[in-house]
Amino acid sequence: MARVGKTKNLVIGLVTLMLAAPLAACDDGRSGAEAAAKELASSLSALDVGSLAIEGTDAAAANQQLKDTFAGLGDVKPSVESGELTLDGSTATVPLDFTWNFGGTPWEYSSQAELTKSGDEWAVRWEPALLAPRLEEGEKLSLRSVEAPRGQILGAGDAPIVQERPVLRVGLDKTRVPADQAEASARALAELLGLDPDAFAKQTAASGAEAFVEGIVLREYTADITAEKVQAIPGAVALSDTMALAPTRTFARPLLGSVGLANAEQIEKSNGALQEGDSTGTGGLQQQYDAQLRGKDGVQVVAAIPAPADGSGTTGTKVFFEAPPTPGTTLKTTLDLNLQQLAEDTLAGVGPASAIVALRPSSGAVLAAASGPGSNGYNTAMLGQYAPGSTFKIIDSLAMFRNGMTADSTVQCTPTITVDGRTFRNAPGYPESSIGGVTLRDAFAHSCNTAFIAARDQVTQAQLESAAMSMGVAVEAPRLGAAAFLGSVPGEAEGTEHAASMIGQGKVLMSPLTAAIMAGSVAKGAPVSPQLVLNPDDGAPTGTASGTPTEGPPSSAAPTASTSVSPEAPSTASDKPITAEEAAALGDMMRAVVTSGHAGFLSAVPGAPVGAKTGTAEFGSENPPKTHAWIVAVHGDLAVAVFVEEGGLGAEVSGPLLQKFLTAAG
């Protein structure tokens, strides 16, 4: 029995040896080669091959070449995966699949690596093409951003407002001036361009040896900055380029904003969307819709081709990868270019902050929103917050109509009226013939403050708020598509504050846009909902709110900028909108301001009859107080508001501006 057991054990052992022999024969080195290929892919992903076995050069030299080759691609690292390996004895080939990601733009390619076995170790045969197909010795890759064509801003009828226009970029080319003379040239150029010489010299010194240091962008040479003067400064040049610009330097700039090179703060806040050298919008619609207008930049990966040592060729650029830019989206607006320019021309000589807003009541289209030179670049037309003065009597009158009065009802116009110790007066020059018992129409036409204040006991503050909302004032404007202040009328006020509200003062505030909406609602016979941007959501980045206002803090004259109706809370449209009958009665009284009131000068305006309402809003603690000058008007399917800050009387200051605008508008 023992002998049989030994024989059985011997047979099992022989079988085991016979089975093991084929397995050993199948271990042909594949597993080692595959492990080496995976290690190579991992090392390339980390941009560090210093620990690998390298054939053809030493590991340190290969590692340095790897870093030098890809240094121009920034901080991005590739994802590298090894593919199916092909084994041929002591050599193996394996595909390497590279994926780079440049701000959401992928660059994918495959190269071929060769491995050789020496003893028990697999080594990588090093060559440039392993890193990228067609890469040759000494070539270094760099990343270029290809700026997308910026979207245009169009006006009514798709007329181009902002489009690419020729410009001259005046600056210092450091390759054209000796290094020891660069500072002197920088200072001389700064003096010519009206820049701070110290700041420009510092900027020049901080720029690279081959940099172009931009000083100013001109539409064309001027009397002060000529080609001859620029060329006389060593290294100074004027490069021809294009830039997204409006028809003139000032055209609707507070509304549209501007476009320029992104500064450090804008780049930091962009979360990677902007890089140095990118253009971006600043202020107005250009900033609000920058993501749509800017589009998406393209990407190029290139290598410079050095000239042959014998001088037989020229330098060039080899393109390894190119993703074309996606052009920006065109922004369509309702602005009428002729009316906008006319409004700006009308305000050209006005010293204080000023504005003209014109809209089409039937559609709500904003045709012009001009802020005068005294606004110093602030969008007074849409963001200003001012007491509307007696233009608010349009809203008073609607509230009085709803309490049973008519244009022919008798009201008492007294020289003064005192409320809780505060005395209110009519504007200087108020006609004696309209003192005493007069019709509401007459009190409106001559703007009798005391008659409207006397009605405060019959018109509550809540009724004023309701009447304002009935006319599109102090409500949201969902179709506007731009930052705006749309009015604030408190629903609660007592005593002198309520009395002041009756003449458009106290805490009642409007922008010129709001005043135009109010007048337009009379012409339309229904509340006007203004519209400026026609396609606010076109091209909006996925997952973002398009058209979100981005205006910064405005001037002290206008404490906040918002599409909301007031700093407290936005309101929706009134549940009791103005009716056609109510609007007709208000239109009749506005016409009386022209035919028998103190805006008789508007009777000379050709075309449809003009209806108007003047306003003079007192503010401050001076004696006599300073005043803002207002006038609103309707002329056919056109509603206009004219405002001048600290302008005096509305009829005397804003009135002639309105007459000039309406007469030229035709």
Full set of structural domains in the chain with CATH: 30-139 (3.10.450.50), 153-332 (3.90.1310), 337-536+560-656 (3.40.710.10)
Q: Do β-strands 410-413 and 365-371 pair in parallel, antiparallel, or remain unpaired?
A: unpaired
Name the DSSP letter for residue 128: G
d(CA 31, CA 418): 102
Asked whether residue 9 carries a pLDDT value surpassing 60, the answer given is: no
**What's the pLDDT score for residue 246?**
82
Report, as an integer, the average pLDDT of 307-321.
72
Residues near 433 by Cβ (< 8 Å), separated by ≥ 6?
none
**What's the pLDDT score for residue 570?**
46
Place of tokens 């595959």: 34
Whether the Cβ atoms of residue 453 and residue 499 lie closer than 8 Å to each other: yes
3-class secondary-structure state, position 657: helix
Tell me, rounded to whole angstroms, the distance of Cα 354 from its chain centroid: 23
* Orientation of helix 580-595 relative to helix 512-524, angle to 10°: 110
Amino acid of residue 220: E
Place of tokens 């804003």: 654
Q: Which of 7-11, 77-81, 283-287, 510-514 has the lowest mean pLDDT?
A: 7-11
Asked whether residue 371 carries a pLDDT value surpassing 80, the answer given is: yes
Name the DSSP letter for residue 653: I
Q: Do β-strands 410-413 and 236-245 pair in parallel, antiparallel, or remain unpaired?
A: unpaired
Q: Which of 172-181, 195-204, 563-572 has the lowest mean pLDDT?
A: 563-572
d(CA 628, CA 352): 10
Whether the Cβ atoms of residue 146 and residue 325 lie closer than 8 Å to each other: yes
Name the DSSP letter for residue 158: G
Which structure tokens are listed for 615?
Answer: 């306003």
Report, as an integer, the average pLDDT of 599-603.
95
d(CA 494, CA 488): 16
What is the chain's mean pLDDT, rounded? 88
Asked whether residue 565 carries a pLDDT value surpassing 50, the answer given is: no
Q: What angle do CA 197, 203, 207 make, to 5 degrees?
A: 145
Residue whose C-alpha is closest to residue 70's, from 384, 234, 301: 301
Residues forming a β-bridge with 117:
122
Place of tokens 């001389």: 188
Residues forming a β-bridge with 79:
99
- For CA atoms 455, 457, 459, 465, the dihedral sign is positive
Prediction pTM value: 0.78
Residues forming a β-bridge with 241:
167
d(CA 66, CA 46): 11
E-state strands within 552-638: 610-619, 626-635
For 214-235, the three-class secondary structure string (H helix, E strand, C coil) is: EEEEECCCCCCCCHHHHHCCCC
Q: Tens of pLDDT along 233-246? A: 999 999 999 887 88
Reported as a pLDDT band with limits 50, 70 and 90, residue 321 is very high
Q: Pseudo-torsion of CA 43, 49, 51, 53, nearest 10°?
A: 110
Residues forming a β-bridge with 333:
533
**What's the pLDDT score for residue 426?**
86
Place of tokens 């397995």: 23
Report, as an integer, the average pLDDT of 161-176.
91
Q: Decide which of 393 and 306 is more confident.
A: 393
